[in-house]
Structure formats: C-alpha cells, structure tokens
Amino acid sequence: MSAALALRAEWAKFTTLRSQWITPLLAVLLTTGITAAVQAAYGRVDTSLEDDPAGGIYYGLLFGHVAVVCSGVLLVGQEYASGTVRASLAAVPRRGRFYAGKLLLGTGVGLVVGLLSVAGTHLATAATVGLDLGQPGAGRSVVAGVLYHPLLLVICLGATAMLRNLTAAMGLLTPAVFLGTTFLTALPGVREAAYFLPDRAGLYAMNYRADPAVPYGHWTGLLVMALWAAAAAWGGLVSLQRHDA
Amino acid sequence: MIEVRNLTKRYGATTAVAGLDFRVEPGRVTGFLGPNGAGKSTTLRMVLGLDRPTAGEALVHGRPYAALEAPLRRVGALLDAHAVHGGRTARGHLRWLAASNGLPRRRIEEVLEQVGLAEAADRRIRGFSLGMRQRLGVAAALLGDPPVLLLDEPVNGLDPEGIRWIRTLLRGLAGEGRAVLVSSHLMAEMALTADHLVVVGRGRLLADLSTEAFLAQHGRARVRVRAVDPLKLADLLRTSGTAARPVEGGAWEVSGAAPEEIGALAARHGVALYELSLLQDSLEEAFMRMTADAVEYRAVAA
Ligand SMILES: Nc1ncnc2c1ncn2[C@@H]1O[C@H](COP(=O)(O)OP(=O)(O)OP(=O)(O)O)[C@@H](O)[C@H]1O
Ligand SMILES: [Mg+2]
C-alpha cells in the first residue's frame, strides 16, 4: 500500500519535471536515430559492421546510453541538488520504501527506453540493410539490448545515491560510460579487468558472435552487469540509511 | 503532541543540540527561539527523522516520526523554502507531495487558495519571489491538514504584510486546536505570535515558559519622557514615587507605568512635555541578555 504510494510519488516527480522525462526520451531518439542514419549511410558498404550485425544495430546505443546514464543520475541527483530530498523523506520517512519507489521507477523507465530503443534500432536496420532475426544470437541480442537499459539506469541511480551529489555523479559516470571504458580496453594489462566493467559486459551480451578475447560468454556478460546493478542498488540503500538527510 | 527528551546531536566536535527537553502542546503557538547556530533547525530535522539523534529521542503523537503512516496527515513541516526544484510548477510540487501520502487532489487547490498562490499555481517556482516560496512552503505543510505544524523561520525574508499574514495564519491554526511550533530569532515577533516560548542557546534549553510570564519578567514597558523644564520633571518623578532614571538629552525613562499615567501626572502638575513615548525594545534586549553567553559568533566590540 505505502510502497505503491512511494512509487506514485516518484511517478509524479518524474512527470512534473521536464528534464526527468526528456532525458530518457532523448536516449530513445539518439539510439534509434543514429543507428538509422549509420545503417542507411554505411551499412551496405562497411564490412566491419557486417562482421557482427550487432555492431550496426546498436551503433546508436554508444551515444544513446549516455542519456540513459543521465536519466539514472537525475532521478536521485536532482533531489540532492535542489534539497527536495528532505521533503521526500519527510513524506516517506521509511528510507527503504522511498528508495524502492526510486528503483521501481528507474527500472520501469529503463525497460520502456530499452523496449523502444531496441524496437527502433531493429526496425531501422530491417528497413535499411535488412534484418534476419533467425540468425544464431539474434534473440539473445534483443533480450540483452532491452535489459541493458534498466540495468545501466539502476547502476547510475545507485551510484548517485552513494555519492549524494548530482554534479559529482554526472562528472564521474558520464565520461566513464562515454569514454572511459573504451580507453581502458585499449590498455594492455588493464584490458582483462576492463571486460568486467558493467557497460562492456552488457554490450558484449548483445553481440551475435563470440569474441575469443573476452573471458566469458554472452549470457555471463549480462549476469556480470546484473551483479553490478545489484551492488550499486544495495550500496545506494546503505548510504541512504546511514546518512543524515 | 511533540515531545523532545534529552535530545542531543553532535557533528564531530560540534555539539549542535545538547540534551534538549520540551513539549509542544496543541492549541497554542510555541515559539522556538534562539540566536543563529542555537540548534533550532537541527532539532526540527531530528523531530522529522531526517537527522539521527546522537542521544535522546523526539516523539510525535507518542511515536518516532518514521513510525507514522501517511506522516503528512499528522505533521506538516516547512524547513527551507529554497528546497524546491525550480523547474516544477507550484501545483507540480504539491502534486508529488500529495501522491506520496495518498492525499486527495482537491487539497492541492485548497491550500493554493489558502496561501494566495492560486494565480501562480502553474508558474515555474524558479520565477517565484522569496515571499512566494515561503507561501508555497506553508501550502506544502498544510497539504495533509495535519494537527501538528513545524515551521523553521517562516517569516524569513517576508515583508511586513507577509509577516502579518503568517502571524494571523499561525494564530488561526492554533485556535483550531493544532500544535504549532515556529522557530525564529526575532523575540519581538514571537512575543506577538507565540503563546509559549522555548528559548535555546548553543543547543541548551535556556527558558521554557509562557509568553505572558516572559513579558512579566522582562517586558515591562518603559516610557520615555522629556519636558520643557527638566528640573521640574525630575522633581515630579522623584516625588510621585515612579521608578524613573535619567537618560541622555535630559530625558527620563520610567518603567512600570503607562504613557497615559505619566501624561496625566504631568498635566496635573503643570509640567509641559516635549516627548512622551512607549519603548518596546526591552524584549529584544531581554532575549539578548538571556542568550548572550550562548551566542556562537559575535561581533567583537572594538
Ligand atoms: N550537517 C551539519 N554538519 C556539521 N555541523 C552542523 C550541521 N548542521 C548544523 N551544524 C552545526 O550545528 C549548530 C546548530 O545549527 P542549526 O542550523 O541547527 O542552528 P539554528 O538555530 O537553526 O541557526 P539559524 O538561526 O542560523 O538557522 C551550528 O553550529 C551548525 O554549524
Ligand atoms: Mg536554522
């Protein structure tokens, strides 16, 4: 009953603040739009994209997922930046309940963004270079593509709850996802560890084909990301319960 | 309604609240007074379960705040009028608050009307003046129609009109039988608004008494009087047995008498007056004396 109210409060916060709902919308538009443009322009000629169909299908995600990160950061970070966190906790004083409302909303928003983005990128691919969903790995790639979004969003939401600061969370997470892990995989020695970073592992789960350099299988990649999400969610809860608001 | 017992809060080496005990009773406005840094806001945050006490407890309706179901129906609070997201509209801000406690939507319209923000309801808070933000904060506190209200410096930044509005509102809410706790560092304002005073300094309780008792102890009005002939006036005051003392400029200050009495006395004895006025600053002075030892930061007299 009251947990449902906490979720309804989060939904009301989400719908009454433009930046909160524009950001996930932007994620869908960026991912779908960039995939569509790249497939239309290069899909038929660039063999590197054809090497693994996922490379072309999810090309836009490399940009769109930055907006997913922002969305997760904003859900919690704006409470701290504006100071509404105190009003929120006065309204829902059981912190676990308040946090559950945030997590549920974040997961829901992530799922919707994932479903729309995956549908959009696959439709765009079908309309441009053609799409064969009967290929081995295609079904898993769709499932992983959808789940990547709520998992990434929850990771960022939990991390922001740990940092309790909008600017710090943005400054840390956005470049980490946009640039950081790509650079890290280029460094020998660090590369092996970098494969276990959440976005790397999640993106790998979308690939149709196996990469012998990656030390785990596709489904395991999704599991690695899910473990990160669970850890971040738990860390955020502990931080919220431990600190004065 | 609110019970604070041995409430203590330390932040590292700073003791913000040191073993505070007091109660906030229904049907009256309790003024929570103290100079800057006295621990008022910290106390209110602990009552609301936002900060965890180092020791002691604060109970609302006999229970810790966090144990209340739908707390906005039991306690309304205004902590900081700036702690709102500027991107939301006034109505949007109240909407999520109402949703969190399952409050009916019509309450949003009612409180917007009550605080005079109905016209501005769909404007973004970013463009609100401080006075409008305070009104929105009061609207949020009233949303659940709670029997207990906690307001942290609600008159901060308000113009005289706004201050009178808050005063009338608080008196009305207490008149309906609600418990109202309102913090301030303005003694004179509280003397007009509060029925009861809880005075703190450096986190300690300095006084817990009715406003009437405080006024009787400290607030005896003084009358300032100046005559055409200062010697004649001095004679008159001395022989009439009033408690008068000379102040600069040949004027006298008489305590324990009303201006009417002094005026009548002077007229009877044919003493022409230049000046006859009631001095009200004694309350603020009494407050400053009371908290003098407890002021955290003080300008050092050169
Ligand atoms: N989160 C915090 N961390 C460290 N010290 C704090 C914290 N909050 C308050 N303090 C300290 O506790 C003391 C009491 O502060 P508080 O804000 O409760 O006073 P106040 O009576 O509300 O003052 P004011 O009239 O200025 O609002 C101050 O010395 C303040 O610096
Ligand atoms: Mg304060």
Distances A188 to A183, A203, B197, B269 between C-alpha atoms, Å: 11, 20, 70, 105
> Chain A contacts of B100, Cβ < 8 Å?
5-6, 8-9, 12, 88, 91-92
Name the closest-CA residue to atom 8, ligand 1.
Answer: B42
> Chain A contacts of B71, Cβ < 8 Å?
90-91, 93
Note the pLDDT of residue B259.
Answer: 84
Note the pLDDT of residue A187.
Answer: 73
Tell me which residue has tokens 């710090």: A168
On whether any CB of chain A is under 8 Å from the CB of B59, the answer is no
Out of A9, A84, A86, whose CB is closest to B99?
A9
Domain ranges of chain A: 3-242
Entry pTM: 0.87
Tell me how far the alpha carbon of residue B152 lies from the centroid of ligand 1, in angstroms: 13
Q: What is the DSSP letter of A45?
A: T
Note the pLDDT of residue A181.
Answer: 63
Residue A238: Cβ within 10 Å count: 12
Of A90-94, A134-138, B67-71, B215-219, the poorest mean pLDDT is in B215-219
Q: Which atom of ligand 1 is nearest to the CA of B12?
A: 4
> d(Cα B191, Cα B197) in Å, to the nearest integer?
9
Mutate to test the interface with B, among A1, A79, A82, A97 (most CBs of B within 10 A): A82
User: What are the strands, taking DSSP E only, across chain A?
Assistant: none
Out of B68, B82, B92, whose CB is closest to A83?
B82
Compute the half-sphere exposure of residue A158: CA atoms within 13 Å on the CB side of its CA: 23
3-state secondary structure chain B: CEEEEEEEEEECCEEEEEEEEEEECCCEEEEEECCCCCCHHHHHHHHCCCCCCCEEEEEECCECHHHCCCHHHCEEEECCCCCCCCCCEHHHHHHHHHHHCCCCCHHHHHHHHHCCCHHHCCCEHHHCCHHHHHHHHHHHHHCCCCCEEEEECCCCCCCHHHHHHHHHHHHHHHHCCCEEEEEECCHHHHHHHCCEEEEEECCEEEEEEEHHHHHHHHCCCEEEEEECCHHHHHHHHHHHCCEEEECHHHCEEEECCCHHHHHHHHHHCCCCEEEEEEECCHHHHHHHHHHHHHCCCCCCCC
Tell me how far the alpha carbon of residue B168 lies from the centroid of ligand 1, in angstroms: 29
B165, amino acid identity = W
Q: Is B173 in the pocket of ligand 1 (CB under 6 A)?
A: no
Higher pLDDT: A15 or A177? It is A15
Q: Encoding tokens for residue B263?
A: 């005026």
Q: How many angstroms away from the CA of B63 is the closest CA of chain A?
A: 13
Q: Do B100 and A89 touch (CB under 8 A)?
A: no
- C-alpha radius of gyration, chain A, whole number: 18
Name the closest-CA residue to atom 27, ligand 1.
Answer: B36
Mutate to test the interface with A, among B96, B125, B149 (most CBs of A within 10 A): B96
Cα B213 versus chain centre, distance = 16
> d(Cα B52, Cα B57) in Å, to the nearest integer?
9
Q: Do A2 and B52 touch (CB under 8 A)?
A: no
Q: What is the mean pLDDT of residues A89-107?
A: 97
> d(Cα A31, Cα A65) in Å, to the nearest integer?
8
Q: Do A5 and B101 touch (CB under 8 A)?
A: yes
A209, amino acid identity = R
Note the pLDDT of residue A180.
Answer: 60
B15, amino acid identity = T
On whether any CB of chain A is under 8 Å from the CB of B74, the answer is no
| 3-state SS assignment for residue A1 | coil
Note the pLDDT of residue B179.
Answer: 97
Give the whole-number percent of chain A exceeding pLDDT 70.
93
Give the whole-number percent of chain A exceeding pLDDT 90.
75
Q: What is the DSSP letter of A62?
A: H
Q: Per this entry, what is the length of chain B?
A: 302
Q: At what angle do helices B211-218 and B282-291 cross, to 10 degrees?
A: 100
On whether any CB of chain B is under 8 Å from the CB of A91, the answer is yes
What is the mean pLDDT of each successive set of 10 residues along chain B, which is 302 residues long?
Answer: 96 94 97 94 97 96 94 96 95 97 97 95 96 95 97 90 93 97 89 93 93 76 85 85 82 83 88 84 71 61 44
Provide the β-strand partners of residue B17.
B9
60-79 in chain A: CB under 8 A from chain B: 78
- C-alpha radius of gyration, chain B, whole number: 23
Query: Could you give all domains of chain B from N- to C-terminal order, each with its CATH number?
Result: 2-210 (3.40.50.300), 221-280 (3.30.70.100)
Q: Do B99 and A88 touch (CB under 8 A)?
A: no
Tell me how far the alpha carbon of residue B209 lies from the centroid of ligand 2, in angstroms: 21
